[in-house]
Structure 1
Amino acid sequence: MVAEEIRVRGTVQGVGFRPTVYRLAKVCGLGGNVCNDGEGVLIRVSGSEEAITEFIAKLQTECPPLAKINELIRTPYAGELDVNNFVISSSVNSAIKTEIAPDAATCLQCQKEIFDPFSRFYRYPFTNCTHCGPRLSIIRAIPYDRWNTSMSAFVMCPECAKEYHDVENRRFHAQPVACHACGASAWLERADGKAVTASMFSMLDDVDAVCTLLQRGEIVAIKGLGGFHLACDATQEVVVKKLRYSKRRYHKPFALMARDIEVIEQYCSVNLKEKELLKSPAAPIVLLRKKVLGIGDWRLGIEVEKKLAVSVAPGQNSLGFMLPYTPLHHLILRRMNRPIVLTSGNIADEPQCIDNDEAREKLRTIANYFLLHNRDIINRVDDSVVRVVGDKVQTIRRARGYAPAAISLPPGFENVPPILAMGSELKNTFCLLRGREAILSQHLGDLENSAAFHSYQETLNLYLNLFEHEPETIAIDKHPEYLSSKIGKEFADKKQIKINPVQHHYAHIAACMAENQIPLDSPPVLGIALDGLGYGEDGKLWGGEFLLADYRKFTRLATFKPVAMIGGEQAIYQPWRNTYAQLIAANIWDDCQEKYADLEIVQFLNNKPIKLLNQLIEKGINSPPASSVGRLFDAVAAAIGIYRDECSYEGQAAIAMEALVNVNSLNNDKEMLIYPFKFSFLDSIYCIDPVPMWQALLHDLQQQIPKEVIAAKFHKGLANVIMEMVKRLCQENMIHQVALTGGVFQNCVLLEQVSKSLAILGIKVLTHSLVPANDGGLSLGQAVITAAQLRR
């Protein structure tokens, strides 16, 4: 007989790991015990060497669905153990090194129970077990035990307690376990304060009544898992438009939820990978290609009600769908044969409401009814957004279902000191680095909004306390005006610790390297970071960069030609400003007056205050030059008539232009379909100049070439010049790996075109999957760069 202590680290608390350990120990005839502590799960076993070896093997192959083992360490144990019995011991408080599981979608067994009239969980909207349910959204502290969650307010009834303590039951130690008798409850309220009575609806209960309300064209605020949502029938244009204007979200596409895959397939093409994502425990919003239905389709028996409201996703060729991921959603949608809009319960770009009184106050002018419940949301968690590009998942927004699952760092990052990376200004996340893992926060939004900024501070404090994280260094973006950087500086001053400013695009590239497991001491890669803008090493605005980079340093090898952002931030929301600046920079505005005076874009620009604009450019008044590829996209979109005058969010025009691309033109390999760019030099580095592209594009506009073809030619031309630059830089610098990153590479057309052309050249292409290519992944890059530089 031998005895061993087995330390298991990873996502192993609140996921049914201890019951699995118990069951396998019994199967293998072992004695001993298992408990949760701050580091994860601690197992002590006694038995034969063969039995313990078998137990370890089974533990790794029969891991619970939501569990993830990052590390398993075996050491001899000299203490006393009960060799004839195996027990689950109470949790032990110790230094926090374990992980918190993300919230998980309702499992199939729980779904079955809520629709089974003979189950005591029949129609209970908060049913869960160790395989599903709330985690991050309800936790206050580690270890993940009931008294450390918002479920501490609910005392288990005898039946729930029996299941909770029954090691053979799938609800064994499921911390949120509850039922109608002892758990949270949901109820319906009218926004005007008047009473809701059963006689108003044909309904089973208040949750079922929501379906009736949605079918009648009402807007309902629903308290969900990580925040409030605003819901309405997605096929009723009048109500969708009303929601859009009441919420002050004028153009951004709305997320949709449908009862099942079959409903989704009436509107979108869904491949196997996309189905897997929709049905996964993370249950994210998946961006899917719209089905194009002609007039004749409606005459073939397809009901008119299946036609979505135009205002759901204006100017898009894709729709963001998710499946129900809580019992509440399943119960609401049981009778709903068409999709519903399910968008964040907020106004404009504020954070989601999470408190009942807050929602009543802020959403009463939008929603007619409120579906509320009394289980507190501790952590605000937005819905995650993903898409499939080729055969690879691309994360657009990392939140519910994924955060805060740890990201394993590449070889060489073992035992790094604790680091806190503050992230960016937009699409913010922060990152805690410890050991050999990175804990990335959920998506926190744009910090320029005061409510989002306040939420960022609250969430940061919560994470630091949850994980007992005491950073030795703070990593920030180099932009001096980013609010995240300012908080980082204040934190560092208060704690008297080091601060490490990291260049924006370098951080993008490092994040891509880290998630692709590029080891710390690997040779440099060529990183291509294309985005809206970031603060450069020279104090100027960058946004189209080719950097030779490892984790410790980088060299700027090439860029796109800098062009003035006339009016500064105004250029982000008024794309025509970028078009004019590009034409001036290309020195072809005068030609436009002679050759292209009849063009709509030229006439439009001539109605603007040209003299004032020229003065702003010449004198550099609030018109900083930027090498931004994001603004180049805006300029082209405005030139061909897409959101020319105004945009309500960054990148709107570029996204619409991507949706417009003519696939036949894109796949035509004739040389005439590629807009030309030229190479020049800027400050001794290569520079991509779009002058010939503009000349060709203006000619096409004059020839009345369709917008769809022009959009395809621009995408293909841009991909081609990137490939040519990469080929040159790789040959000159002996590089074999290229990282594609930055928000512009969320453009599927550009990403696929560049990836395909580089693969043909035999170059290994690194892209994002675990973290967003946009600023949502920036904090990971800041953290690993700081760790690498500290190790040096």
Structure 2
Amino acid sequence: MSERITQHIEVFGRVQGVGFRPHVHRTATALGLDGWVRNVDGHVELTASGRPAVLRDLVARIRKQAPPLAAVRHVRVTDVPSDMTRTLGGFAVRASHTDAAVLPREIPPDAATCEACLRELFDTGDRRYRYPFINCADCGPRATVIDDLPYDRESTTMRRFPLCPACAAEYEDPAGRRFHAEPVACPVCGPRLAWGGLREDEALRAAVKTVASGGIVAVKGIGGYQLVCDATHPVAVAELRRRKRRPAKPFAVMVSDLAAARRLAYLSRTEHDVLASPQGPVVLLSARLPRRPQGHSPARPDERVGGTGTLIAPEVHPGTHRIGLFLPTTGLHHLLLRELDRPLIVTSGNLTDEPIATDDAEACRTLEAVADGFLTHDRPIRARYDDSVVQTVRRSVLTLRRARGYAPAPLPLPVPAALPLVGTGAQLKHTFTLAERGRAHLGPHTGDLADAATYDAFQTSYRDLTRLTGVAPRAVAHDLHPGYASTQWAYAQPTEHRIPVQHHHAHVAAVAAEHGLKRPFLGVAYDGLGLGDDGTLWGGEILVADLTDYRRVGRFGRAPLPGGEAAIRNPARMALGYLYGAEPLGVPRPAPWLSQPFTRRLDVREVDSVHAMVERGVNCPRASSAGRLFDAAASLLGLGNAVSYEGQAAVALESAAGNLRTDALPWRLTRADGLWVYDPSPTLTALLEGLANQAEVPHLAAAFHTTVAEVTAALVERAVAAGAPHTVCLGGGCFQNRRLLTDVSRLLRAQGLRVLTGNAVPVNDGGISYGQAAVASALLANQATEG
């Protein structure tokens, strides 16, 4: 028999709050090992004694058989000298220990209700029957209840709920599913629902009655308040839009299960899996067209559309054939869906552009004019996390908003940060990223920093996450734009290093870093606007880059933005900008007679005003923006002259194109200032000619997408011919457009190129902070090497 030895094992990664210690306890006990396991700040350590082969088996199981919510990043094994080995009897779980030297620490994200808890929730014989706050080591709140690490109950908002004897016994049982599940509770000792003076089940029934009668309820969720109403009730949906000041942006819809999701949308296997995942994001899906029984008349304004919720009101997702669906993520959601038996709009509890409400008093103040009642509870929300949003392209999952369920789990950095640092992000879809060593913690989605309350929410999140992770930034990376609130915040920080990162370099660097690229690559950055290093506005860029530097090799033709911000809110102004002032690149702009049918649809005073602004160059910054070109095309095709949310015109254009396959419109590349430049004038002229010839709008919308894809392939082909790398990173908000992303990827792969885009990191401005952190880390590493 082999001699027994003792080893000290440290496990790093997402190993707290995910049932990791009971997993180690069960595994070690089953293997007949002696020793102990405990939490140490952000990781787990254990000492085990046994035969060498059995200890190797233990380490292998720790690496490969972790609990569902865990993520083992690294395991360090150290032999304990025989003279230091004490006699160990059995395997124990020890109290947590603090070791401030171990950084950075990893915060577990929240997780949707697991199947085991769901069975208990609806089991009449279970003591947690219909308990809204049911959870275990495999599910429930994590990031939204943590006050500090190590992750113990006293370090969470659950410390105000002393465990009853039954829950305490489960909490102390290493063999059970609720061993040190810190939010564990039951109806006897845990949080309770409230609706005015009503409590628990009466409160739930009051909320159900309000929603069933067409009302709007503010529900205190896991990471903030949510507004809930009947998605099949047109009047309720219209009223929610009016009160929330959200006239057109689609709402997310929560459905009871996957079968209900299939009644509303088409699901691929990948979409099925991500809907049912512990992260529980909103998934953008292709909606099924509503089908009414034969002879059924159209719904009256006061009529629900579907008796049991097989149809939803068209006002839920106007202007697009895509619908955002998600499954219940908490016990409370499951109870609401079970009682109401219909799809529900479940959207952020805020007014448009403001942060989601988390504090009870704040919610009452901001949502009083929106909600007909408040279904709340007495468990505080420690951190604000909105719902995550994803979509799939073939078998890939692309994150559009990284929030609940995903954040703040760290992402790798290909070049470890030599100093702790923060990427401050952009202005819209704001996030920040904390980085230290080889890990980057992407903070929760915040929103538009132009709103004072959103800016305050960002600062609160930053303070909380720096404290929890232990990352104390000594360097700050920021956008070039001096008007961004994130840039101004960066300059106010007392840090050793301030590192400016160009907006589009950050976009493509985020993609490269997520995929572990250290070598040069070719970047295609298509978005709305970002300040270029030449002082002009960019947005349709081809870059040869690595993580430390870039050079521009191609771009879209420039056009004026009449009125600056006003052109972003009014695509018709953007279209006029192209018609009257597109950069002269060798082909005339569309002839006036072609433009007249479009301009006649507009207010003549605005047309004259914009024409004069463009001719005189007054308040008309020029931009090489792909996003603004999409806006202009949408407006020319009659798909929207004004927008109420970012990207609305482009969404309408993509929806109009559908799955139609057409030839490209005319396009042209030319050389200007040493760059290959796409001249959009031939394309826009062809759009107007198509309209004049009575071509169908969907056909023209599809042709426009085909054109931009072919233009991109041609720009890349010229760059590669001039020596650019054969790996292409696609970044920027335009690549949220599934058709554009699919077509561009197909054409580039046909050239033999490797094509990458963001998966875990949003390609929109939500990924900018991660790209900034990746660039800053690489630059600081270079400085350290050179120094």
TM-score (norm 1): 0.94
Corresponding position: 1:174 with 2:181: yes
- Is the Cα–Cα contact under 8 Å of residues 194 and 376 in structure 2 kept in the other structure? yes
Residue 552 (structure 1) aligns with: 548
Corresponding position: 1:768 with 2:762: no
Q: C-alpha distance in 1, partners of 2:233/2:745?
A: 40
Do the aligned partners of residues 322 and 610 (structure 1) sit closer, same or farther apart at CA in structure 2, a change above 3 Å counting?
A: closer
Residue 716 (structure 2) aligns with: 726
Mean Cα deviation higher: 137-146 or 740-749? 137-146
Q: C-alpha distance in 2, partners of 1:396/1:727?
A: 28
Residue 578 (structure 2) aligns with: 582
Residue 445 (structure 1) aligns with: 447
Shift of 1:94: 1.4
Q: C-alpha distance in 2, partners of 1:502/1:733?
A: 24
Matched residue type, 2:714: E
Shift of 1:437: 1.1
Residue 716 (structure 1) aligns with: 706
Residue 500 (structure 2) aligns with: 501
Cα shift readout 1:346-385 (whole Å, capped 9, x = no counterpart): 1111111111121112212111111010000010100000
Residue 325 (structure 2) aligns with: 321
Q: C-alpha distance in 2, partners of 1:682/1:775?
A: 28
State which of 517, 529, 535 in structure 2 corresponds to 1:533: 529
Matched residue type, 1:265: R
Do the aligned partners of residues 81 and 251 (structure 1) sit closer, same or farther apart at CA in structure 2, a change above 3 Å counting?
A: farther
Shift of 1:472: 2.1
Mean Cα deviation higher: 583-592 or 273-282? 583-592
Q: Percent sequence identity over matched residues? A: 40
Q: C-alpha distance in 2, partners of 1:734/1:711?
A: 31
Q: CA RMSD in A?
A: 1.8
State which of 654, 670, 680 in structure 2 corresponds to 1:658: 654
State which of 46, 64, 68 in structure 1 corresponds to 2:67: 64
Shift of 1:81: 3.5
Residue 165 (structure 2) aligns with: 158
Shift of 1:48: 1.2
Matched residue type, 2:250: P
Q: C-alpha distance in 2, partners of 1:591/1:486?
A: 41
Matched residue type, 2:318: P
Shift of 1:235: 0.6
Corresponding position: 1:145 with 2:152: yes
Residue 135 (structure 1) aligns with: 142
- Is the Cα–Cα contact under 8 Å of residues 34 and 42 in structure 1 kept in the other structure? yes
5 Å-filtered alignment, 1:253-268, equals 253-268=250-265
Shift of 1:786: 0.7
Do the aligned partners of residues 260 and 209 (structure 1) sit closer, same or farther apart at CA in structure 2, a change above 3 Å counting?
A: farther
Matched residue type, 1:374: D
Cα shift readout 1:81-112 (whole Å, capped 9, x = no counterpart): 33322111111111243311100000111111
Q: Secondary structure at the match of 1:172?
A: coil
Q: C-alpha distance in 1, partners of 2:373/2:224?
A: 16
Shift of 1:251: 0.9
Shift of 1:430: 0.6
Cα shift readout 1:740-788 (whole Å, capped 9, x = no counterpart): 1100010001000100111111111011101100000011110111111
Residue 459 (structure 1) aligns with: 461
Corresponding position: 1:340 with 2:336: no
Residue 56 (structure 2) aligns with: 53
Shift of 1:33: 1.2
Q: C-alpha distance in 2, partners of 1:123/1:266?
A: 26
Mean Cα deviation higher: 464-473 or 291-300? 291-300
Shift of 1:473: 1.0
5 Å-filtered alignment, 1:559-570, equals 559-570=555-566
Q: C-alpha distance in 1, partners of 2:180/2:592?
A: 75
Corresponding position: 1:416 with 2:421: no
Shift of 1:57: 1.4
Shift of 1:31: 1.3
Matched residue type, 1:258: V
Corresponding position: 1:187 with 2:194: yes
State which of 200, 203, 206 in structure 2 corresponds to 1:206: 203
Do the aligned partners of residues 240 and 293 (structure 1) sit closer, same or farther apart at CA in structure 2, a change above 3 Å counting?
A: closer
Matched residue type, 2:484: Y
Residue 359 (structure 1) aligns with: 363
Residue 249 (structure 1) aligns with: 246
State which of 620, 627, 643 in structure 1 corresponds to 2:640: 643
Q: C-alpha distance in 2, partners of 1:605/1:292?
A: 32
Cα shift readout 1:315-353 (whole Å, capped 9, x = no counterpart): 110110110010011111113332011111111111111
Cα shift readout 1:369-416 (whole Å, capped 9, x = no counterpart): 110100000101000000111111111100000001111223xx2463
Q: C-alpha distance in 2, partners of 1:489/1:204?
A: 51
Q: Secondary structure at the match of 1:733?
A: coil
Shift of 1:121: 0.7
Do the aligned partners of residues 636 and 448 (structure 1) sit closer, same or farther apart at CA in structure 2, a change above 3 Å counting?
A: same
Shift of 1:76: 1.3
Matched residue type, 1:744: C
Mean Cα deviation higher: 263-272 or 707-716? 263-272
- Is the Cα–Cα contact under 8 Å of residues 263 and 337 in structure 1 kept in the other structure? no
Q: C-alpha distance in 2, partners of 1:80/1:404?
A: 38
- Is the Cα–Cα contact under 8 Å of residues 259 and 336 in structure 1 kept in the other structure? no
Q: C-alpha distance in 2, partners of 1:253/1:238?
A: 16
Residue 738 (structure 1) aligns with: 728
Q: C-alpha distance in 2, partners of 1:708/1:350?
A: 35
Q: C-alpha distance in 2, partners of 1:256/1:298?
A: 28
Q: C-alpha distance in 2, partners of 1:348/1:789?
A: 38
Q: C-alpha distance in 2, partners of 1:309/1:297?
A: 19
Residue 192 (structure 1) aligns with: none
Q: C-alpha distance in 2, partners of 1:177/1:387?
A: 32
User: Which runs of no fewer than 5 residues in structure 2 stay unpaired?
Assistant: 298-304, 783-787
- Is the Cα–Cα contact under 8 Å of residues 46 and 81 in structure 1 kept in the other structure? no
State which of 622, 632, 638 in structure 1 corresponds to 2:629: 632
Q: C-alpha distance in 2, partners of 1:460/1:11?
A: 20
Matched residue type, 2:105: T
State which of 368, 372, 384 in structure 2 corresponds to 1:380: 384
TM-score (norm 2): 0.94
Residue 87 (structure 1) aligns with: 92
Cα shift readout 1:37-79 (whole Å, capped 9, x = no counterpart): 1240111111111110111112223211100000001111233
Do the aligned partners of residues 777 and 81 (structure 1) sit closer, same or farther apart at CA in structure 2, a change above 3 Å counting?
A: farther
- Is the Cα–Cα contact under 8 Å of residues 417 and 780 in structure 2 kept in the other structure? no
Shift of 1:596: 5.1
- Is the Cα–Cα contact under 8 Å of residues 384 and 400 in structure 1 kept in the other structure? yes
Q: C-alpha distance in 1, partners of 2:492/2:623?
A: 29
Q: Secondary structure at the match of 1:436?
A: strand
State which of 99, 118, 125 in structure 1 corresponds to 2:125: 118
Q: C-alpha distance in 1, partners of 2:87/2:127?
A: 37
- Is the Cα–Cα contact under 8 Å of residues 30 and 83 in structure 1 kept in the other structure? no
Residue 34 (structure 2) aligns with: 31
- Is the Cα–Cα contact under 8 Å of residues 230 and 345 in structure 1 kept in the other structure? yes
Residue 200 (structure 1) aligns with: none
Shift of 1:155: 0.6
Q: C-alpha distance in 1, partners of 2:588/2:566?
A: 21
Cα shift readout 1:9-29 (whole Å, capped 9, x = no counterpart): 000001110111111111122
Cα shift readout 1:435-471 (whole Å, capped 9, x = no counterpart): 2111101111110111100000010011111112122
Shift of 1:206: 2.1
Q: Secondary structure at the match of 1:13?
A: coil
State which of 645, 666, 669 in structure 2 corresponds to 1:679: 669
Shift of 1:682: 2.6
Matched residue type, 1:269: Y
Cα shift readout 1:507-542 (whole Å, capped 9, x = no counterpart): 011100011121x2x2x1110000000010011110
Q: Secondary structure at the match of 1:464?
A: helix
